[in-house]
Amino acid sequence: MSLLDKLNWRYATKKFDATKKLSDEQLHTLLDAVQLAPSSAGLQAYRVIVVSDPHVKEQLREAARGQQQLTTASHILVFAAETGLDSAYVKNYIDRIAQTRGVDRATLALFETNISNNISKMEDEARITWNKKQCYIALGVLVTVAAEHGIDTCAMEGFDAAKFDEILGLKALGLTTAVIAPVGFRAEDDGLSKAVKVRRPKEELFIHI
Ligand SMILES: Cc1cc2nc3c(=O)[nH]c(=O)nc-3n(C[C@H](O)[C@H](O)[C@H](O)COP(=O)(O)O)c2cc1C
């Protein structure tokens, strides 16, 4: 099966088979993919909470309009944006580049200044929105790599972010929930698994100039 075939195979899973759990290897493949996702300036100003605790899943389900994906999935990945992205965060990032690539930190000074200046010009809300956008890119990579490995997902934003933040204690970590993805394996009786994809026709979706 090509990757395109696998993207056709995947669908937003409404009901997972609660008896099927991801192996450690499968989970780590997904986490590797999320880690490798691109982000603006490479900042990755988000963290991802990996929920497997049934009690926490139950609480999250209540804060997500009771959607059953949250309790039937093997794991829930909660993408949470950093709320306090500042020059100290950028400094750490630049230190990491210098160390990882073994380059003189001084050669990165302009890059650091540019990023810090851009960030300081943003209002708090705009900065958090920017970080949330990066979460969606990581989500897209997750969904794609999961499909490649025959793992089901459901991207979801139908939840109460403030309640998620409270349940997961995210405020104290300087984080706020952006988007979530239950992951696992589809239930046999999930009706939508066989539904034909509905997409805008190419002539409507694409504008060739
Ligand atoms: C950002 C985002 C948020 C979504 N939120 C929900 C959700 O809260 N509940 C749900 O059942 N599906 C949710 N979906 C799934 C979409 O409805 C689904 O991806 C879309 O209808 C296309 O169908 P397919 O993914 O099965 O091909 C969401 C998808 C995305 C990308």
DSSP codes joined into one string, 72-127 = HSSEEEEEEEES---HHHHHHHHHHHHHHHT--GGGGHHHHHHHHHHHHHS-HHHH
Q: Which residues form the pocket of ligand 1, taking CB atoms under 6 Å from any ligand atom?
A: 11-12, 14, 67, 154-158, 179, 197
pLDDT in tens, 26-53: 999 999 999 999 999 999 999 999 999 9
- Write the residue with the smallest CA distance to atom 16 of ligand 1: 12
Which pLDDT score is estimated for 61? Answer: 98
Number of domains in the chain: 1
Cα–Cα distance between 111 and 15 in angstroms, integer? 45
pLDDT in tens, 60-97: 999 999 999 999 999 999 999 999 999 999 999 999 99
Mutate to test the pocket of ligand 1, among 15, 69, 134, 156 (most ligand atoms within 8 A of CB): 156
Residue 140 lies in a domain: yes
Which pLDDT score is estimated for 179? Answer: 99
Residue 53 lies in a domain: yes
Residue 105 lies in a domain: no
């990757």: which residue's tokens?
Answer: 3
- Residue 171 has φ and ψ, to the nearest 5°, of -60, -45
Residue 111 pLDDT level (bands cut at 50, 70, 90): very high
How far does the centroid of ligand 1 lie from the alpha carbon of residue 136, in Å? 12
Residue 139 pLDDT level (bands cut at 50, 70, 90): very high
Total Cβ atoms within 10 A of residue 66: 9
> Where residue 84 sits, what CATH number does that domain have?
3.40.109.10
Residue 97 lies in a domain: no
How far does the centroid of ligand 1 lie from the alpha carbon of residue 16, in Å? 15
Which domain range does residue 156 map to?
3-88+122-205
Residue 94 lies in a domain: no
Which pLDDT score is estimated for 156? Answer: 98
98-112 average pLDDT score:
98
Residue 32 lies in a domain: yes
Report residue 100 as tokens: 């990882």
pLDDT in tens, 166-206: 999 999 999 999 999 999 999 999 989 999 999 999 999 99
Q: In angstroms, how far is the first alpha carbon of the chain from the final one?
A: 32
Residue 78 lies in a domain: yes
pLDDT in tens, 2-23: 999 999 999 999 999 999 999 9
Which pLDDT score is estimated for 189? Answer: 95
Residue 113 lies in a domain: no
Which pLDDT score is estimated for 155? Answer: 98
Which pLDDT score is estimated for 31? Answer: 98
